[in-house]
Amino acid sequence: MPGLNLTRNEAIERASIIKRVHSYRIELDLPKDKDVFSSKVEIRFDAQEGASTFIDAITSSVKSINLNGEELSTDLADGERIQLPNLAAENTLVIDAEMFYTNTGEGLHRFVDPADGEVYLYSQFEVPDSRRVFPVFEQPDLKAEFEFIVRVPSHWVVVSNQPEVKVEEKECGCGRAKTWFFKPTPRMSSYITAIVAGPYEKVTSELTNSEGRVIPLGVYARKSLMPFVDAEDMFELTRQGFEFYEEQFKTPYPFEKYDQLFVPEFNAGAMENAGCVTYLETYVFRSKVAEALRERRAITVLHELAHMWFGDLVTMKWWNDLWLNESFAEFMSTLAAAENTRYAKEAWATFAASEKTWAYRQDQLSSTHPIVAEIRDLADVQVNFDGITYAKGASVLRQMVAWVGQENFMAALKVYFDKHSWGNTVLDDLLVELERTSGRDVRAWSAKWLETAGVNTLAVEIENDEAGNISNLGIRQSYAEGFETLRPHRAVIGFYNLVDGKLTRTDRIELDIDGEL
């Protein structure tokens, strides 16, 4: 039995059988005082007629399985997958199941606030955990529309990727309950869908985007934490991020709203759920903190917002390009901070001191690996979610932008977003556009920088004339033992004189460096 893992080969085979997933209609009944919850899903999809496959579902129990009007045996479910035999060309699958709440930050996490006893829920689906909340074809290239219908206690609110269209209140066996009906999402991957429910409190605002559309904004936190939430700072950063990204990408924000929620016991920094971003509560400051921590929060806010385009609108085909998702967002968040926020002076210095030094440390360990790593299965994703993925990837991406030119880089992104909106891509799809706009051999650059590991050292060699002036200057490149790759670099060399006790730059040369000398 393959268990909870999913191999890339299995995903490729399943995608060859499932021609298109049209929609999920997901009904959740979320009680506050139980260990399990009800999950009923209706899925419409096209498939290879007569073929068989499976759907992912980590369940407590499966009550019924109906495929194209025929009741199937629940023995086809093993608690982790449900087998689907004899598919039609057009299929409707209805599964009624019970799922577990978790306290580990996977699937639907349940938290009891010690301050007031209130229960708070939130989802965390990356990498493979939407299957803990509803049966799903759990791989990023099987995109679909998702429609959520969620029943909760009457004093709770529910937040999802899309705005609610109506809320109905009725009496039920456990007291009064409200059912929240949400608009179907655009086509997206399951790992960026989201459900957050509980007596969260909120602050609202709005912005007008580049195409004149009003985007509702919300900041949420649990009741006992809300007095400490700096919503206005969150809104200011969000507006600055929207303005910068829409101008740089020449692509409007792709979703209808933008909510940001601080959630308890979160096991990551933040998560880029489409239109429904979650953050750990450490970013709610209950007392005066160092400005560096506020800057870190700002970078995280801008990082998650960048994902709305790169990751959510256009998504990797498989997890081997996860590095590109994260590296892109990390680079773009620092660029946005440097060019359109109050952190303009320190953003790149902070990046060098934190991200780049982290990358250097990671890249000199025996555990280092190429930025583009082979991801054979879901287990490999967890192993490679590290400083190489985030910090070295972002540092190298900055070098790429310097090498092709920022204007060319952004022009390539515009075409990339236009071509692949609501779809899936591989790295080469981006490289093609970068080569077209820059005229440079980006694939050769990629092979040296992204597909090999290890650190290069650049050393200056200077010859002086009799008067002490520089007559010849060279840059020698070397590599670490065991990592015998010399790479192309775009570098800036500054020349300085000491004037009145201060260093004064007299000249600046920007050049390409390649080879040993």
Q: What is the pLDDT of residue 451?
A: 94
| Same structural domain, 8 and 145 | yes
Share of the chain above pLDDT 70, in %: 99
Residue 292 forms part of a structural domain? no
Residue 441 forms part of a structural domain? yes
| Same structural domain, 461 and 474 | yes
Domain count, the chain: 4
Q: Which residues are catalytic?
A: 304
pLDDT band at 3 (very low <50, low <70, confident <90, very high): low
Q: Which residues does 430 contact at the CB level (< 8 Å), separation at least 6? A: 324, 412, 416
> Which of 417, 450, 483 is at the close of a domain?
450
| Same structural domain, 347 and 464 | no
| Same structural domain, 84 and 98 | yes
User: 127: cis peptide before it, omega within 30°?
Assistant: yes
| Same structural domain, 364 and 391 | yes
Average pLDDT, the chain: 96
| Same structural domain, 211 and 342 | no
> Which of 418, 450, 482 is at the close of a domain?
450
pLDDT band at 102 (very low <50, low <70, confident <90, very high): very high
Residue 2 has pLDDT above 60, yes or no: no
| Same structural domain, 472 and 338 | no
Least confident of 162-166, 425-429, 495-499: 495-499
Residue 16 has pLDDT above 50, yes or no: yes
| Same structural domain, 386 and 497 | no
Residue 238 forms part of a structural domain? yes
| Same structural domain, 11 and 140 | yes
Does residue 340 contact residue 403 with C-beta atoms inside 8 Å?
Answer: no
Q: Give the structural domain span for 249.
A: 200-286
Q: Is the dihedral of CA 497, 499, 503, 509 positive or negative?
A: negative
Write the CATH number for 180: 2.60.40.1730
Q: In this predicted model, what pLDDT tens digit does every residue of 293-326 receive, in sequence order? A: 999 999 999 999 999 999 999 999 999 999 999 9
Write the CATH number for 422: 1.10.390.10
| Same structural domain, 444 and 467 | no
Q: Strands of 195-198's sheet, edge to edge?
A: 107-112, 119-124, 195-198, 157-160
Instruction: For residue 49, give the DSSP letter.
Output: T
pLDDT band at 468 (very low <50, low <70, confident <90, very high): confident
> Which of 429, 450, 471 is at the close of a domain?
450
Residue 298 forms part of a structural domain? no
Write the CATH number for 242: 3.30.2010.30
